[in-house]
């Protein structure tokens, strides 16, 4: 049983939003979709869930009772309290009421929302609302958990807390698919797919993504951007430079690129291939 | 400032609905309502019964539009004709003075008829003739209370308000909150979601309806002469149409502002063209057909007839049937569109998932 997208294409009008994307949602693994705004992350997740029809390719997923989903925006009822939001999800998934109380308490504690049971969803802060959305998606213990940018716009402490919960879910056997715009979050994944305009430009484990970097990456300790033809970017106080032909300029010192560099190089490489 | 003006016009140009509301709607309304806004009744459907029916009918001229002459029938038959909306005025001839029975639920027609009779008497006297003796009896609303006629119509208007506006807002709120997508992923059948979304509004609207009628009776003495079940059937069918319209609006609106705009465009014609204020029969032929596609027109006919005249179901099959037809069309369309939101790719995705599960 393999869940995921297989050479899936989605078209909106004449525009290809997904173009032959394959994405495996494996059990006990966190699969991260990473890419800029408009790269097709949400579309890919929605295609996986059957919320948008495919123009080509295949999709497979478990039945609805085994899916948990957090959409990119909202996903909670602002006019219901936290407890009422959980009660609605519980009833929808036919969780017995005594079970529901236990599970709700447990999840709220794990996710850091204990003590706000009686506050209205709409009165929670942005970060707390995202946490509640994740709690709602976890309540029925899904086998496939799909999270669309669950950490966007929330503080670093809450992000760390959410990722602990997400990793914990995977550790207990759930197939987790998460989209994010934060590269450092993708580093925690078992598998990463970097999306650009509906294409997967690189896919694999974070180590495989680093290993797949073509050419060479160097570091430059200078305050101004290097002037050569090779593309460069600022990391902290140092400039990074990427030489596709592996011939770094003499002033650059070759370094072992990290995942962050790897993602940038993959995007640059893709741009070069596209002739930008 | 110039930058602001240019920006504002650019935004306005992109917001097609607002643009339509600002330019097309006023023009359309002026034309439609100009032709619809007419209290003058030019034709009053009239039946004449009794031994002198033929003679009397020959002396009746417009606004009396004689639609039936039956010398063999009596007063009770004439009353049935009024009760069943076949005529607004019934002339009963026989021994003694002629009696003009008038349907008091048709305020403007009755007023026009009375004026016309007064004029006939005057012109007869002016010509030196003795006008025939006659009496006028106004049935169902003898004091011609405006509130008696308005309350059954307002009940309908409030159902339109709840059914169309509040329902569409409820569904759009779900879309805006991102929860509609979640519902699509949850183990609900589309029908569960649709019914679960509509039934609460149906309940609230039914409760409101009871309150309005009780208030109408308490404050204005509006009677409820007819069969409650017939009224309830009419209200139920009408609510299905308005709730369907609400869901339909929600499927083409991305946010509550758009839903309100659309609901407003649907509600305004119902207020002005359904016979609530202006009699449908007085409207210009060019706009009268609009009244006949508005569900409120049929509900008003049913509610006024049942509440004030105790019209039986046998005489109301036409408005009931048309409401049922509108209900099937509108609700059907709404369900089809809403289902598309809830299960957009069920045809392609689920069978494969099942195959994969079986293979595993």
Q: What is the mean pLDDT of residues B255-278?
A: 83
Closest CA to A43 of A66, A12, A64: A12
Angle of helix B16-36 relative to helix B2-14, nearest 10 degrees, comes to 70
Phi, psi of A22 (to 5 degrees): -115, 135
- Is B349 a residue whose pLDDT tops 60? no
Give the count of beta carbons closer than 10 Å to the beta carbon of residue A19.
18
How far, rounded to the nearest angstrom, does the alpha carbon of residue A167 sit from its chain's CA centroid? 12
CA distance B330 to B247: 9
CB-based contacts of B339: which residues, under 8 Å, 6+ apart? Answer: B190, B194
User: What's the CA angle centered on A235, arms A233 and A236, to 5 degrees?
Assistant: 140
Domain ranges of chain A: 3-207, 214-274
CB-based contacts of A87: which residues, under 8 Å, 6+ apart? Answer: A100, A104
- Is B355 a residue whose pLDDT tops 50? no
In the structure encoding, which two tokens stand for residue A237, read together?
């106080």
CB–CB contact B185 A72 (8 Å): no
pLDDT, one tens digit per residue, over B114-155 is 888 888 888 888 887 777 778 888 888 888 888 888 888 888
The helix, strand and coil proportions of chain B, stated in percent and rounded to the nearest 5, come to: 70, 10, 20
Say whether residue A1 is in contact with chain B using an 8 A CB cutoff: yes
Give the count of beta carbons closer than 10 Å to the beta carbon of residue A71.
26
Q: Cα dihedral angle (B237, B239, B242, B243), rounded to 10 degrees?
A: -110
Complex ipTM value: 0.83
Task: Give the pLDDT confidence score for residue B352 in this predicted structure.
Answer: 38
Facing residue for B353 by CB, picked from A47, A62, A71: A62
Burial class (CB in 10 A: 0-12, 13-18, 19+), B27: exposed
Buried b (16+ CB within 10 A) or exposed e, B125-154: eeeeeeeeebeeebbbbeebbeebbbbbbb
CA distance A165 to A111: 7
Task: Give the pLDDT confidence score for residue A46 in this predicted structure.
Answer: 93
Percent of chain A with pLDDT over 70: 99
Give the count of beta carbons closer than 10 Å to the beta carbon of residue A52.
22
Structure confidence at residue B359 as a pLDDT band (50, 70, 90): very low
Task: Give the pLDDT confidence score for residue A48 in this predicted structure.
Answer: 94
CB–CB contact B345 A2 (8 Å): no
Task: Give the pLDDT confidence score for residue B29 in this predicted structure.
Answer: 77
Cβ contacts of A51 on chain B, cutoff 8 Å: 181, 184-185, 344-345
Share the mean pLDDT of chain A. Answer: 89
Task: Give the pLDDT confidence score for residue A102 in this predicted structure.
Answer: 92
CATH among 3.20.20.60, 3.40.50.300, 3.10.20.30, 1.10.10.10 for A3-207: 3.40.50.300
First to last CA, chain A: 40
pLDDT, one tens digit per residue, over A161-190 is 899 999 999 999 999 999 998 888 888 899
Task: Give the pLDDT confidence score for residue A1 in this predicted structure.
Answer: 66
In the structure encoding, which two tokens stand for residue A243, read together?
């030489």
CA distance B147 to B8: 46
The answer to whether the CB of A260 falls within 8 A of the CB of A206 is no
What are the CA-CA distances from residue B137 to residues B47, B76, B143, B222 (Å)?
A: 15, 14, 11, 19
- Is A274 a residue whose pLDDT tops 70? no
The answer to whether the CB of A89 falls within 8 A of the CB of A123 is no
String of DSSP letters for chain A: --EEEEEEEEEETTEEEEEEEEEEE-TT-EEEEE--TTSSHHHHHHHHHTSS--SEEEEE---GGGEEEE-SS--S-TTSBHHHHHHHHHHHTT--HHHHHHHHHHHHHHHT-TT-TTSBGGGS-HHHHHHHHHHHHHTT--SEEEEESTTTT--HHHHHHHHHHHHHHHHTT-EEEEEES-HHHHTT-SEEEEEETTEEEEEE-HHHHHHT--SEEEEE--SS---SSS-EEEETTEEEEEETTS---TTSEE----HHHHHHHHHHHHHHHHT-
Tell me the residues of B at the A interface, defined by beta carbons under 8 Å apart.
Answer: 176-179, 181-182, 184-188, 343-350, 352-353, 356-357, 359-360
Cβ contacts of A69 on chain B, cutoff 8 Å: 181-182, 185
- How would you list the strands of the sheet with A199-204, edge to edge? A67-70, A144-148, A175-180, A30-34, A191-196, A199-204
- Is B17 a residue whose pLDDT tops 80? no
pLDDT, one tens digit per residue, over A185-211 is 888 899 999 998 888 888 999 999 898
Structure confidence at residue B63 as a pLDDT band (50, 70, 90): confident
Q: What is the mean pLDDT of residues A118-140?
A: 92
Domain ranges of chain B: 2-36, 44-139, 146-350
Query: Among the ranges A140-144, A210-214, B10-14, B104-108, which has the highest mean pLDDT value?
Result: A140-144
Task: Give the pLDDT confidence score for residue A87 in this predicted structure.
Answer: 93
Task: Give the pLDDT confidence score for residue B344 in this predicted structure.
Answer: 65
Structure confidence at residue B236 as a pLDDT band (50, 70, 90): very high
Q: Cα dihedral angle (A47, A52, A53, A58), rounded to 10 degrees?
A: 0
Burial class (CB in 10 A: 0-12, 13-18, 19+), B123: exposed
- Is B285 a residue whose pLDDT tops 80? no
What are the CA-CA distances from residue A244 to residues A189, A193, A259, A266 (Å)?
A: 27, 21, 17, 11
Cβ contacts of A59 on chain B, cutoff 8 Å: 348-349, 352-353
- Is A276 a residue whose pLDDT tops 60? no
- Is B345 a residue whose pLDDT tops 70? no
CB-based contacts of B95: which residues, under 8 Å, 6+ apart? Answer: none
Tell me which of A224-233, B303-312, B313-322 is least confident.
A224-233
Closest CA to A165 of A155, A181, A176: A176
Closest-CA distance of chain B to residue A183, Å: 25
In the stretch 38-77 of chain A, residues with CB closer than 8 A to chain B read 46-47, 49-54, 58-65, 67, 69, 71-77
Facing residue for B352 by CB, picked from A58, A69, A76: A58
Q: Which residue of A has its CA nearest to B353?
A: A60
CA distance A60 to A3: 5
Task: Give the pLDDT confidence score for residue B276 in this predicted structure.
Answer: 80
Structure confidence at residue A275 as a pLDDT band (50, 70, 90): low
Task: Give the pLDDT confidence score for residue B37 in this predicted structure.
Answer: 75
Please state the length of chain B: 360
Query: Among the ranges A60-74, B3-17, B94-108, B271-285, which has the highest mean pLDDT value?
Result: A60-74
The answer to whether the CB of A30 falls within 8 A of the CB of A178 is yes
Closest CA to B313 of B83, B104, B154: B83
- Is B360 a residue whose pLDDT tops 60? no
The answer to whether the CB of B101 falls within 8 A of the CB of B89 is yes
């Amino acid at each position: 049983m393999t869940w995921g997208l297989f050479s899936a294409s989605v078209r909106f009008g004449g525009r290809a939003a997904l173009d032959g994307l394959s994405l495996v949602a494996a059990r006990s693994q966190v699969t991260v979709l990473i890419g800029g705004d408009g790269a097709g992350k949400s579309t890919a997740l929605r295609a996986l869930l059957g919320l948008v029809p495919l123009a080509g390719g295949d999709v497979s997923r478990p039945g609805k009772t085994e899916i948990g989903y957090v959409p990119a925006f909202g996903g909670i009822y602002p006019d219901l309290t936290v407890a009422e939001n959980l009660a609605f999800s519980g009833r929808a998934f036919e969780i017995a009421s005594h079970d529901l109380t236990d599970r709700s308490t447990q999840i709220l504690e794990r996710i850091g929302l204990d003590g706000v049971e009686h506050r209205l969803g709409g009165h929670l802060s942005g970060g707390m609302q995202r946490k509640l959305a994740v709690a709602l998606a976890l309540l029925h213990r899904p086998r496939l958990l799909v999270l669309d940018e669950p950490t966007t716009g929330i503080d670093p402490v809450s992000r760390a807390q959410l990722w602990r919960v997400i990793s914990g879910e995977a550790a207990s056997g759930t197939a987790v698919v998460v989209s994010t715009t934060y590269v450092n979050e993708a580093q925690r994944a078992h598998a990463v797919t970097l999306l650009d305009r509906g294409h997967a430009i690189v896919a694999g484990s974070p180590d495989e993504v680093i290993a797949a970097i073509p050419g060479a990456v160097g570091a430059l300790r200078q305050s101004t951007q290097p002037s050569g033809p090779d593309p460069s970017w600022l990391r902290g106080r140092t400039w990074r430079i990427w030489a596709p032909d592996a011939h770094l300029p003499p002033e650059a010192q070759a370094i072992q690129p990290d995942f962050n560099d790897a993602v940038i190089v993959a995007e640059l490489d893709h741009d070069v291939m596209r002739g930008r | 400032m110039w930058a602001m003006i240019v920006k504002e016009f650019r935004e306005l140009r992109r917001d097609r609905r607002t643009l339509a509301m600002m330019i097309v709607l006023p023009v359309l309304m002026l034309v439609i309502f100009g032709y619809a806004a007419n209290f003058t009744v030019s034709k009053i459907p009239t039946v004449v019964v009794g031994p002198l029916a033929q003679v009397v009918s020959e002396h009746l001229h417009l606004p009396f539009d004689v639609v039936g002459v039956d010398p063999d029938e009596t007063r009770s038959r004439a009353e049935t004709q009024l009760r069943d909306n076949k005529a607004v005025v019934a002339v009963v001839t026989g021994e003694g003075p002629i009696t003009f029975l008038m349907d008091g639920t048709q305020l403007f027609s009755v007023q026009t008829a009375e004026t016309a009779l007064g004029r006939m008497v005057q012109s007869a006297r002016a010509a030196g003739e003795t006008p025939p003796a006659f009496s006028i009896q106004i049935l169902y609303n003898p004091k011609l209370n405006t509130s008696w006629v308005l309350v059954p119509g307002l009940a309908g208007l409030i159902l339109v308000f709840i059914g169309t506006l509040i329902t569409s807002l409820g569904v759009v709120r779900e879309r805006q909150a991102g929860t509609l997508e979640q519902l699509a992923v949850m183990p609900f059948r589309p029908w569960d979601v649709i019914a679960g979304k509509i039934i609460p509004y149906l309940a609230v609207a039914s409760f409101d309806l009871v309150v309005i009628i009780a208030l109408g009776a308490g404050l204005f003495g509006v009677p409820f002469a007819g069969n409650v079940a017939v009224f309830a059937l009419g209200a139920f069918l009408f609510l299905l149409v308005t709730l369907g319209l609400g869901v339909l609006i929600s499927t083409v609106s991305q946010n509550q502002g758009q839903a309100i705009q659309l609901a407003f465009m649907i509600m305004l014609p119902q207020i002005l063209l359904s016979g609530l204020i202006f009699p449908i029969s007085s409207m210009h032929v060019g706009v009268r057909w609009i009244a006949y596609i508005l569900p409120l027109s049929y509900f008003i006919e049913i509610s006024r007839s049942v509440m004030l005249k105790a019209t039986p179901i046998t005489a109301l099959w036409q408005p009931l049937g048309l409401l049922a037809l509108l209900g099937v069309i509108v609700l059907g369309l709404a369900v089809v569109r809403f289902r598309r939101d809830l299960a957009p790719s069920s045809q392609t995705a689920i069978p494969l998932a099942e195959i994969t599960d079986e293979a595993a």
